[in-house]
Amino acid sequence: MAKTRLESGSTLDGFIIGDLVHRGGMAHLWQVSRPGDATQMLMKIPVLHEGEDPAAIVSFEMEQMIMPRLKGPHVPRHIANGDFATQPYIVMERLDGETLLPQLDALPLPAETVARLGAKIADALAALHAQGVVHLDLKPSNIMFRPNGDAVLIDFGLAHHRDLPDLMQEEFRLPYGTAPYMAPEQVMGVRNDYRSDLFALGCLMYFFATGTRPFGDPQKLKGLKQRLWQDPVPPRKLQPDIPPWFQEIVLRCLEVRAGRRHPSAAQLAHDLRNPDQVTLTARAGKLTQDGFFAVLKRKGEPPSSLIDKPQADEAELSDAPIVAVALNLDDLTPELSDKLRRTASRILERSPQARLACLNVQKLNRIAMDSSLDEEGNNKHVQRLVGLKDWAQGLKLEQGRITFHVLEAIDPAETILDYARQNNVDHILMGARENSTMRKILGSVSGKVAAEAPCSVTVVRNRQLTEE
């Protein structure tokens, strides 16, 4: 990847770089323009410095995949993407105004004001869900408003799209999100339930109406899991002037079981706009948290028993096979590369609906500290990602049928096997290392994968093709 120096007045792919608008931990935002286009635009560029979390790169890939598919007033209009081979970026329309973040200084707000905000945000969620997307990172800094009052959702790096591969789920075991707003099922690794966004909106409304976060801000998984059995202090206990209907709505959003929340964002918006029509239950009158024994009973149940299955419409799964091709980019000869590509093509031809996952394992040292940059200052993770995409160009597969994964681990074979197990891979394709003394001493990666894989394995050699 060529190193691009960005500064005001420079040009990138026809876009003229303006002022640096925001310097974040994972990405920077630049104001940009281009000749003949009066659109106000922002360019989002990921941070790719030494020591960066690989999840930041994968998250940016996800956003590049999802944003071009989104339409409507509740999302920023997508304009362009930049390739990782040169300079990754996303150009989108620049929205006037600020996010909800500055309003935190004025909390708590009247419940009626929060309800109006919540209804507009629920409208935006309903539009997003109708396009097959769960946001999964709803929070004040990711919500803006257009001059006409429409809520706009931004930052789709952690989102799930029902028609696209979920790279975050495939490559990382820990849940990703913003701790105060994560739904219980999201904490447990479920990423395809639209009702997770309703839980997040409930957290936001609770916070805005009371000035207190319902579940605090835990920084460890153990703390996040407490929301599976520990209910929040009822809002009316903290702010007695909160009306019962508002507490009813908020506590319904915060139910541990997704099936007990509103069935859709549209119905939530309707309740927020029609408080006189909200059916009040025991939730509306609560002034104390559940008792010790009720909490103890829930805590004693397996966490999986507290998590409802995702709604059927959002849990559509493809029965097409998943084929994983593992490429050793450090030792890939042109001959072996071509054979792997031709073999992959034959497998995909037999299964027109198959999905191809291209894997590379960046081997880590067991003792010494590893640098994320090469000798020229380029990010190793990105370089390998570009290498995988270069290899796959000849396959000419449409987006959605192919994904790319750079995995970091000490044991490449075990990492490939773990990926296959976790992602229900049906077929692994990989190249065999040439005969060498080191191979005889340590054994081959392909041999271990073929021996232990939970699926069929095709090992391609320079002179022959074997299925093991």
pLDDT of the residue at 7: 87
Which residues are designated catalytic? 137
Average pLDDT over residues 362-382: 76
Q: Where are the alpha helices (DSSP H) in 195-291?
A: 195-210, 221-225, 235-238, 244-253, 265-273, 282-285
235 vs 277, more confident: 235
312 vs 108, more confident: 108
Q: What is the pTM of this model?
A: 0.82
Q: What digits encode the pLDDT tens for the residues 268-305? A: 999 999 998 898 999 999 999 999 888 888 888 888 77
Task: Give phi and psi for 14, each to the nearest 5.
Answer: 90, -5
**Confidence band (pLDDT; 50, 70, 90) for 464?**
very low
Lowest mean pLDDT among 64-78, 284-298, 367-381, 443-457: 367-381
The angle subtended at Cα 174 by Cα 169 and Cα 178, nearest 5°, is 95
pLDDT of the residue at 131: 95
Average pLDDT over residues 18-24: 91
pLDDT of the residue at 162: 92
Average pLDDT over residues 339-361: 88
**Confidence band (pLDDT; 50, 70, 90) for 368?**
low
Lowest mean pLDDT among 202-216, 313-327, 345-359: 313-327
pLDDT of the residue at 4: 63
Average pLDDT, the chain: 88
Whether the pLDDT of residue 256 is over 90: the answer is: yes
Average pLDDT over residues 176-190: 94
DSSP 8-state secondary structure symbol assigned to residue 355:
E
Cα-based distances in Å from 411 to 100, 408, 415, 421, 444: 45, 9, 6, 15, 11
d(CA 308, CA 287): 27
Side-chain half-sphere exposure of 227, counting CA atoms within 13 A: 32
**Confidence band (pLDDT; 50, 70, 90) for 313?**
low
Q: Which stretch, 178-182, 303-307, 381-385, has highest mean pLDDT?
A: 178-182
Q: What is the torsional sign of CA 56, 57, 61, 67?
A: positive
pLDDT of the residue at 70: 97
233 vs 380, more confident: 233
pLDDT of the residue at 316: 36
**Confidence band (pLDDT; 50, 70, 90) for 442?**
very low
454 vs 153, more confident: 153
d(CA 215, CA 199): 12
Average pLDDT over residues 356-369: 79
The percent of residues in the chain predicted with pLDDT above 70, rounded, is 91
Q: Which domains occur in the chain, in start order?
A: 11-93 (3.30.200.20), 101-314 (1.10.510.10), 322-467 (3.40.50.620)
To the nearest 10°, the Cα dihedral for 87, 92, 93, 97?
Answer: -90
The contacts of residue 337 (CB under 8 Å, 6+ apart) are: 327, 391
Q: What digits encode the pLDDT tens for the residues 130-176? A: 999 999 999 999 999 999 999 999 999 999 999 999 988 888 878 88
